[in-house]
Structure 1
Amino acid sequence: MTDPADPGQLSNAIYSQEATIGAPDLSAIPAKYQDLWEVFSKARATSLLAPHRLGDDCTLCRAGFFFVEIKDKILRTCIDYRGLNDITVKNRYPLPLISSAFKPLQWATVFSKLDLRNTYHMVRIREGDEWKTAFNMASSRYEYLVMPFGLTNAPAVFQDLENDVLCDMLNRFVFVYIDDILIFSCSPHEHVLHVQQVLQRILENQLFVKPEKCEFHCSTIPFLGYIISAGSVKSFEDGAEEHG
């Protein structure tokens, strides 16, 4: 349940990148991280990337590649897709507001949360659209075979996927925001059953969790900038909001 499946293996999820006609030249100067790129490419290229195919489209979409430092000086790979996003037809599938969960939460006393692993990379890019994800690195160009972070429609695509996977549980005992899942119940006994149902469902759909970021069977739990407990949703910034 915690080990990721092969990237791009969700059979019911395909990312389509629809761009407007007359796309501008999105080429960028390669980032100066050759040594780090060697490590990244050897570790990830076989399952996530492919060499960019040269052709008439090779100058349209070539985003810049760089690293950013996150917690504990860990480097995360980033690709600047702003140019591509500017000309992309937007997916209007709505992301949920946490306020929509307030009413279902009002009777809950036990909470768990799940954080999914490698979420976007589980969605395969539609065949023929891979070239649009092309990016420069050192003297090479690559394109993604699976949905990368940074594409404007990626959150909506994955939210749609999660809503489909957990559709019969939503607002009954589950709230989903992209790759964050909140499970809530009125009693500990009921909660055990709810958690089992959710874990079984995501496993059946080849989704996997990050154990280090999950919390189970809590009376108070942080979730998306809120502290949630029985009858209360407390914002980190705005104080407590009572819902009962």
Structure 2
Amino acid sequence: MCNHAVISAENGKSDENQRPYNNSISVLNRLGTLVVHTSVFERLGEISKDLSNNARRRQWDSVFDSLRDGHAQQFKKKGRYDMTNEHKKSNIGVKSLYNRRATPIFVSALLSPKEEEEYLKSLGEHKYVFAWTYKEMLGLDLKVTIHHLDIKYGTRPIKKSQRVLGPDLISRVETKINKLINTGFIREVKYPMWISSIVPVRKKNGQIHICIDFRDLNKACLKDDFPLLIIELMVDATTRHETLSFIDGSSGYNQIIMSPKDEECTAFRTPKGIYYHKVMPFILKNAGATYQYAMQNIFDAILHKKVKCYVDDLVVKTKKRGKHLADLQIVFNRLRKYNLKMNPLKCAFDVTSEKFLDFIIRHCGIEADPAK
């Protein structure tokens, strides 16, 4: 159980032009489930006792609000304050199957040297459940699921015209298309019935991401009502566990194969030709339901007991810390059996807190991610 402190203030009268306060103030109420760092109390100790009651409380407010707003950098000189466990980048001692480079992975920085050695050994033994490159993503076992479009009978196909792109964008779009061709995600097609258009989107780092406008195709598809988990209930169910591991699917949607009879319907127009998807693109209608169905089939009996899944976000949870590595091995065996790959650079193993689905999850509680 997390230890929290409750600070009480002496009763005092409110200034005439100031908002009155309650007689006491609780750090627990202000910080929810956050563990209060010692530097907070150092700042509280700097508040003058000569100030009026309300003035002191307003300064307390600024201390706690600064934490809520994520301005923890100001505490670094006196001690580290972090919303989540600090991660340590380690190498599991094997080479990537394709580029022969080192294979980095993240574990908790709080592990002892012996514990870290045990985890890295286990992760190395299960290296085939991770993909450091697209070429290592061989596709989900077809016995689990494939993606069907289920276009409504009688729907008239729509062919979108090509968007006008500036000269500076054309070369960058072609580079992205070539990358998708080399990974086997897309293939050239002639005479498709449906053609969608592309929408290049500039990322914050200046790179280009190619989105496809599937709105017309999505309108023509029936809705898959396979249930997704309720995020709030899922997040709450991961608390009160001593150890957690957070695992992220490596371009998870692209690991599910499109149905051969539907794949040409995903065709899209580019400056260098028309291509269709061999794998399920993220933005297709029902893509989330298909992925959730796959997770249900893969984990089946251990779902909700040892692992929680919301589409491609997984969390392995263990009540007693000493049993966590065994639980991870069970999950890894399922992933390897069905050939589902995880992204090692977005995983964190054996931690007590982490960002997950816009929440900060801890073994003692949850709170909203202040960065969102």
TM over 0.5: yes
Q: TM-score, normalised by structure 2?
A: 0.59
2:147 equivalent in structure 1:
15
User: Going by fraction, where is helix more abundant, 1 or 2?
Assistant: 2
% identical aligned pairs? 22
User: Could you say which structure has the greater relative contact order, defined with CA pairs below 8 angstroms and 6 or more residues apart?
Assistant: 1
Gaps of 5+ in 2: 1-128
Which amino acid letter does the alignment assign opposite residue 67 of structure 1?
A: P
1:117 equivalent in structure 2:
250
Which amino acid letter does the alignment assign opposite residue 358 of structure 2?
A: G
Distance change in 2, residues 1:7/1:30 (3 Å): farther
Give the one of 118, 125, 130 matched to 1:2. 130
1:145-172 CA-partner distances (Å, limit 9, x unpaired):
1111210111100110011101111111
Distance change in 2, residues 1:85/1:196 (3 Å): same
How far is 1:139 from its partner? 4.8
Does the 8 Å CA contact 1:134/1:142 hold for their aligned counterparts?
yes
Which amino acid letter does the alignment assign opposite residue 190 of structure 2?
A: R
The worse-fitting range, judged by mean Cα deviation, of 173-182 and 42-51 is 42-51
Distance change in 2, residues 1:103/1:92 (3 Å): same
Does the 8 Å CA contact 1:175/1:182 hold for their aligned counterparts?
yes
How far is 1:9 from its partner? 4.9
Distance (Å, rounded) in 2 between the aligned partners of 1:34 and 1:202 = 39
Distance change in 2, residues 1:116/1:126 (3 Å): same
Distance change in 2, residues 1:71/1:192 (3 Å): farther
Question: CA RMSD for the aligned pairs?
Answer: 2.0
The worse-fitting range, judged by mean Cα deviation, of 119-128 and 39-48 is 39-48
Distance change in 2, residues 1:129/1:172 (3 Å): same
User: Going by fraction, where is strand more abundant, 1 or 2?
Assistant: 1
Distance (Å, rounded) in 2 between the aligned partners of 1:39 and 1:132 = 23
How far is 1:37 from its partner? 3.0
Distance (Å, rounded) in 1 between the aligned partners of 2:245 and 2:346 = 11
Distance (Å, rounded) in 2 between the aligned partners of 1:41 and 1:204 = 31
Does the 8 Å CA contact 2:228/2:289 hold for their aligned counterparts?
yes
How far is 1:210 from its partner? 1.3
Distance change in 2, residues 1:31/1:196 (3 Å): farther
Distance (Å, rounded) in 2 between the aligned partners of 1:9 and 1:219 = 30
Does the 8 Å CA contact 1:105/1:231 hold for their aligned counterparts?
no
1:89 equivalent in structure 2:
222
Helix, strand or coil for the counterpart of 1:151?
coil
1:53 equivalent in structure 2:
190
2:97 equivalent in structure 1:
none
2:180 equivalent in structure 1:
44
1:126 equivalent in structure 2:
259
2:170 equivalent in structure 1:
34
Give aligned pairs, total.
233
Distance change in 2, residues 1:149/1:24 (3 Å): same
How far is 1:53 from its partner? 2.8
Gaps of 5+ in 1: 238-244
Whose Rg is larger? 2
Does the 8 Å CA contact 1:112/1:216 hold for their aligned counterparts?
yes
How far is 1:198 from its partner? 1.1
Q: TM-score, normalised by structure 1?
A: 0.87
Which amino acid letter does the alignment assign opposite residue 180 of structure 2?
A: R
How far is 1:17 from its partner? 0.8
1:107 and 2:240 matched: yes
How far is 1:102 from its partner? 5.5
1:137 equivalent in structure 2:
270
1:79 and 2:207 matched: no
